[in-house]
Amino acid sequence: MPSPRAKPAAYPPRAAPAADPKVAERERMALGWLHTAHFLTSAPQLEHLPPFDLPEIAFVGRSNAGKSTAINTLTQQTRLAFASKTPGRTQHINLFGIGKQKVDDAVLADLPGYGYAAVPREAKLRWQRVMGNYLMTRENLRGVVLMCDPRHGLTELDEILLDVIRPRVQQGLKFLVLLTKADKLTRSEGAKVLSITRLQAGGGEVKLFSALKKQGVGEAAQLLWRWVHPEDAHAPAAGPEPTPPPEDA
C-alpha cells in the first residue's frame, strides 16, 4: 500500500505576533503589501532599466549575505529573488513591482551580490561601476536596504557602498542595514553587533533579521511601507530595535 502523501510545509512560517494588536495589524498590512511583489524586468546595465515614477527600494549586499532569502521572506514568496548556486554569478538588476489591487505603487530593485572572490576582476569592476551609478543617479530611488552577515560585520566593500550613498542619505534617502542570519548569534552577540553597526551606519537604521525564525520581518516590512507611504497615519514608526537581554536572563 502506498504511503500517504505528506502535506507540503507552509512557506514561510508566520512572523511572531507583535505584543500590541495595533502594531500586529500594521505589520500584517505591510506584509500583505509586500506579498504582491511580481517580476517586472531585468537589465544587465543601468541604461537598460526603464524609468519609473514610482518610489524604488534597492536591496544590496555581499554574496552569501542572505539577500535573496531576505527578499523572499519579506515578500512571502519562495523564488521571487533567485539565489544562484554559484555566488556572484547573477549579474543583472532585477525589478519587482508591488501594490495592492494590481496597481503598483512601488518598485523593489534586487542588485547583484558583490565581493565574491571567484568572480573575474573585470566583472567586479564593471559591477562596481553599475551599482555606483545606479545608487548615485537613479532618480526615483527612495531607500536602500543593505544585507550584512553579522558574524562578519560591515566589510570594506560595504563601507565603500555607504560612502557612495551618504550624500543622498543626507538629502533624505532612506537607509536600513539588515543583520541577516541573526539566529546564528547569541543574545549578547546580537546586542554587541547592533551597537557596533549602528555606529558604523551613521544615519541609517539597523535591525536584526532572521529568515529562519522570522525575527525582525514584521518590523522591516513596516519600515519599507513607511518609506513609500510617509503620509499614511496608520503606519507609525516601528520603534528602535530592542536590545537583547543578557545571556543568562
pLDDT in tens, 70-115: 999 999 998 898 765 544 445 788 999 999 998 999 999 999 887 6
pTM of the model: 0.82
The highest-level CATH class for domain 32-232 is alpha beta
How many other C-beta atoms are found inside a 10 Å radius of the C-beta of residue 223? 21
Query: Who has greater pLDDT, 134 or 11?
Result: 134
Confidence check: pLDDT of 191 > 90:
yes
What are the boundaries of each domain within the chain?
Answer: 32-232
**Cα dist from 118 to 5, 36, 114, 115, whole Å:** 42, 35, 11, 9
Helix (H, G, I), strand (E, B) or coil at 99: coil
Q: Given the C-alpha cell 536590545, which residue does it identify?
A: 243
DSSP structure class, residue 44: S
Name the band, by pLDDT with cuts 50, 70 and 90, for residue 144. Answer: very high
Per DSSP, the chain holds a count of helices (H) and strands (E) of 6, 7
**192 vs 211: CA distance, rounded Å:** 20
204 burial (CB, 10 Å; 0-12 / 13-18 / 19+) is buried
Confidence check: pLDDT of 233 > 60:
no
Name the band, by pLDDT with cuts 50, 70 and 90, for residue 5. Answer: very low
CB of 70 closer than 8 Å to CB of 215 = no
Nearest to 38 by CA among 125, 134, 103: 103
Q: What is the pLDDT of residues 148-189, one digit of tens each?
A: 999 988 988 888 888 889 999 999 999 999 999 999 999 999
> In the Cβ-directed half-sphere of 145, how many Cα atoms lie within 13 Å?
28
Q: What is the pLDDT of residues 90-99, one digit of tens each?
A: 578 899 999 9
**238 vs 135: CA distance, rounded Å:** 26
According to the model, what pLDDT value does residue 248 have?
A: 46
**Averaged pLDDT for residues 117-124:** 64
- List, as one string, the DSSP characters of 112-172: PPB--TTS-HHHHHHHHHHHHHHHHH-TTEEEEEEEE-TTT-S-HHHHHHHHHHHHHHHTT
Q: In what order do the strands lie in the sheet with 141-148?
A: 38-43, 93-98, 106-110, 56-61, 141-148, 174-179, 205-208
**213 vs 170: CA distance, rounded Å:** 34
> In the Cβ-directed half-sphere of 91, how many Cα atoms lie within 13 Å?
18
The answer to whether the Cα torsion of 142, 106, 144, 141 is positive or negative is: negative
Share of the chain above pLDDT 70, in %: 77
According to the model, what pLDDT value does residue 8 have?
A: 37
Sequence-distant (≥ 6) Cβ neighbours of residue 205 within 8 angstroms: 175, 176, 177, 223
**87 vs 69: CA distance, rounded Å:** 13
